[in-house]
Structure 1
Amino acid sequence: METATSRRWRALLLGSVAACAACGLVYELALLALSASLGRGDVVANSLIVAGYVAALGFGAVAAKPFVRRAAMSFLGIECVLGLLGGVSATALYWVFSVTGESLGALVAATFVIGTLVGAEVPLLMTLLQTGRIASAENTGRVLANLNAADYFGALVGGLIWPFVLLPTVGMLKATAIAGLINVTAALIIAALLLRKMLSRRARFASVGALLAALIALVALLAGIRDIEATARQSLYAQPIVFAKHSKYQDIVVTRFGEDRRLYLDGGLQYSSRDEYRYTESLVYPAVGKDTKSALILGGGDGLAARELLRMPNIERIVQVELDPEVIEVARTVLREDNRGSLEDPRVEKVTADAFAWLHDQARGKVPAQKFDAIYADLPDPDNAVLAKLYSQEFYGLIRTVAAPGAKLVVQSGSPFSTPQAYWRTDSTIRAAGWSTTPYHVHVPTFGDWGFVLAQAAPESPSVTLDDAAPPLKFFTPEVARAATVFGADNSPQQLEPSTLAHPQIVEDIRRGWRQAGE
């Protein structure tokens, strides 16, 4: 008959199992987050990581069979290695990417190793929980139910702590190091309090010694992680970093060399202060005129588009919808010289929201309906499924619901030269949503040939012109506007199927263009 002491023993062990399971899921979520932030957050990369992790769980369970005879010692050894490898995984992979520029292979390998270690836990724990019991079918079922409950509950806790606590407060690298510390600490508690009678004196000292060494290594990593991260990050950028921060959504970096200031989001260049005026003027002025009073900017949290709109004499209201509040804060401070304080102008209403969700709420009447004379989709290139929704037929259909009569829309559409299929698919997708379009492109030295699509909800295609009410500009003249609609034979218009939420074809278009360009 089971005693109260043995019940407490098993309760403590199951609690430690839950803690270890939470840490295991944190490691896996960190690998997925790294895949996104290091530029491979596509369906292929995510599928390889998730499928590889699940397969590794099964492999680990089989690989643990020879160790069940020494379940206590084996379990502590696995937790020591798992806590140490999991804790350093994010930092090590960040270093790999900074040195080699490639991360997918290392991410998949790390996933398999961590998954194998996590998978080996269950048969060893099952053996420990069965110690001293009669292995009847009923008893085995109860033990397995308790073990699965602790494991899944721990995974739930880890899944909630990662996005709501760890990632937004300490960042990806520190979060995994902290999870490693918790993992090793839980194993130490198990070794010191629960398994001491199952281990010989020599095995107990060896286990505790190894766990303490792992604990010290992780504490040292935490103490130096800021310097490690700063060094690795700087190696990714040619210019000195003057600002860097992990937000809830992305890695924000600002560099400066002389008078050239550059903004990067997740490693992707957003603009260079040397030539951003070419991009910004070409984006803004084709959609505005002397009758334009209101404007909507989707994205563009750097404040550059708002800066140009505020130069138009009749602009009364601008709504700036930006997902990441940290980008807005950086624009108001570090980048203020570039945007001339546009986001502090009382005519600019700042909304921190997902552009798709915000438009959907407008269409459903969940918020007071608004109409705009000029609309801008100044959004990142759709190189993953999450961003692809902002280049979908459904998205451009939602934009129509906030367009005032006669309103014009401008969409930044990537490079017609480097990613031609993505560019022309954007044009086709906007037309599929009921807009009439006019594609145009300009040369921006930092980016090369860069394209936009001008659209209006009318039967005739809009003209790319510069209104007489526009202020003096550095680049976008009437002559440039006329030439911008001319495309050479090597990037002539293509009629393509629209990109939709169910079939985001534009993601593969982008990646195909990058592969062909050798980027």
Structure 2
Amino acid sequence: MDTLKKNWFTEVCEMWPGGTFSFEVKEVLHKEKSMYQDILVLDTTSFGKVLVLDGIIQCTQKDEFSYQEMIAFLPLCCHKNPEKVLIVGGGDGGVAREVAKHPKVKEIVQVEIDEKVIEVSKKYLPSMAVGFESEKLKLHVCDGFEFMKNHSREFDVIITDSSDPVGPAVSLFQENYFSLMKSALKPNGVVCSQAGTFWYSMDLVSSTLNICKNLFPKAAYAWTSVPTYPSGQIGFVIGSLDPDVQFDKPAITFSRQEELSMNLRYYNSDIHKAAFVLPTFVKNQLHI
């Protein structure tokens, strides 16, 4: 009780009051304030290198693949032919790394507003930033809102890899953003956005899902396990312009050998189906 340990980082956020997550730090590798947010990179005893933005953990080397694979492959495999993909955010490069693995993806466009996050990730998190090296990728450092205003009916899949709705990411959880994504999709296009945890942020999950339901013929909430995120769980809202889509039955499946060749460590077709299975209290809260 009431003891602060030296060399421990503690994540504290108003979004999950009364609880926190801490880990032991070996070294502070990088610390700066960009135009948009505070950027911190830590080397830890148990989780490898960790990227922290505005005091909130974004990814750790130990478990980042769970989040990156699921936010990428859930929407990609819900689409029958995801040739052209837009990533909004994702400055660490992890989502681009996963999207580039998909055999049907031919072109990836990524827009990230904070160039400093990209630079820091390339230097300290190369296993994620390798995504920026894909020949499929075209990277733009700009505002996702402004970009999509000038790119209508262009993408098969749009993935929003945002931080939590604090600071610059607040706008990515609002209805006008989802409307912009919808207008940037080709027919039968799919969107997928980070949408919070049902343990701490049920209001956020519910409001984001409702926005998606109001705009898309089909919408759903899926989730994955990430031990270093609040409550160890985080979810995604997925919307599709295809009224016949069945989110829990992937349109594209991979063999065990294909999963190994793509170095998939978390995602598979069974995990895809299970991601849409929700606890009873969540189904009740979301009126599913």
Q: TM-score range by the shorter chain?
A: 0.7 to 0.9
Residues 39-54 of structure 1 correspond to what in structure 2 (within 5 A)?
none
In the alignment, which residue of structure 1 is the partner of 2:266?
475
Q: Tell me the alpha carbon deviations over residues 131-162 of structure 1, each in whole angstroms, 9 at most, x when there is no partner.
A: xxxxxxxxxxxxxxxxxxxxxxxxxxxxxxxx
Question: Is the helix fraction higher in 1 or 2?
Answer: 1
In the alignment, which residue of structure 1 is the partner of 2:121?
331
One of 476, 481, 490 as aligned partner of 2:281: 490
Does 2:29 correspond to 1:242?
Answer: yes
In the alignment, which residue of structure 2 is the partner of 1:344?
133
In the alignment, which residue of structure 2 is the partner of 1:112?
none
Paired residues of 1:454 and 1:464 also in contact (CA < 8 A): no
CA distance in 1, matches of 2:269, 2:82: 19
CA distance in 1, matches of 2:183, 2:246: 19
Paired residues of 1:370 and 1:402 also in contact (CA < 8 A): yes
Residues 370-519 of structure 1 correspond to what in structure 2 (within 5 A)?
371-383=154-166, 387-447=169-229, 448-466=232-250, 467-469=252-254, 471-472=259-260, 473-494=264-285
One of 283, 286, 295 as aligned partner of 2:85: 295
CA distance in 2, matches of 1:284, 1:490: 27
CA distance in 2, matches of 1:440, 1:370: 25
In the alignment, which residue of structure 2 is the partner of 1:179?
none
Go from structure 1 to structure 2 and tell me whether the alpha carbon gap of 1:403 and 1:462 turns closer, same or farther (over 3 Å shift): farther
Greater relative contact order, per chain length (Cα 8 Å cut-off, separation 6+): 2
In the alignment, which residue of structure 1 is the partner of 2:64?
276
The residue matched to 1:376 in structure 2 has which SS? strand
The residue matched to 1:358 in structure 2 has which SS? helix
Paired residues of 1:311 and 1:471 also in contact (CA < 8 A): no
What one-letter code is carried by the residue in structure 2 that aligns with 1:242? L
Note the residue ranges of structure 1 that are not aligned, 5 or more in a row. Answer: 1-97, 104-235, 363-368, 497-519
In the alignment, which residue of structure 2 is the partner of 1:34?
none
Residues 80-91 of structure 1 correspond to what in structure 2 (within 5 A)?
none
Give the drift of 1:397. Answer: 0.7
What one-letter code is carried by the residue in structure 2 that aligns with 1:380? S
Paired residues of 1:456 and 1:462 also in contact (CA < 8 A): no
In the alignment, which residue of structure 1 is the partner of 2:3?
none
CA distance in 1, matches of 2:58, 2:284: 26
One of 129, 132, 145 as aligned partner of 1:356: 145
Runs ≥4 residues deviating over 6 A: none
Give TM-score scaled by structure 2 length: 0.81
CA distance in 2, matches of 1:243, 1:492: 42
Paired residues of 1:454 and 1:462 also in contact (CA < 8 A): no
Give the drift of 1:481. Answer: 1.8
What one-letter code is carried by the residue in structure 1 that aligns with 2:207? R
Give the drift of 1:461. Answer: 5.0
Give the drift of 1:391. Answer: 1.0
In the alignment, which residue of structure 2 is the partner of 1:314?
104
Give the drift of 1:351. Answer: 1.0
Residues 102-141 of structure 1 correspond to what in structure 2 (within 5 A)?
none
Between the two proteins, the alignment pairs up a number of residues equal to 258
In the alignment, which residue of structure 1 is the partner of 2:6?
none
Give TM-score scaled by structure 1 length: 0.46
What one-letter code is carried by the residue in structure 2 that aligns with 1:316? K
Root-mean-square deviation (CA, aligned residues, Å) is 2.6
Residues 196-207 of structure 1 correspond to what in structure 2 (within 5 A)?
none
What one-letter code is carried by the residue in structure 2 that aligns with 1:345? S
The residue matched to 1:333 in structure 2 has which SS? helix
% identity of equivalent residues: 26
Paired residues of 1:437 and 1:461 also in contact (CA < 8 A): no
CA distance in 2, matches of 1:252, 1:237: 17
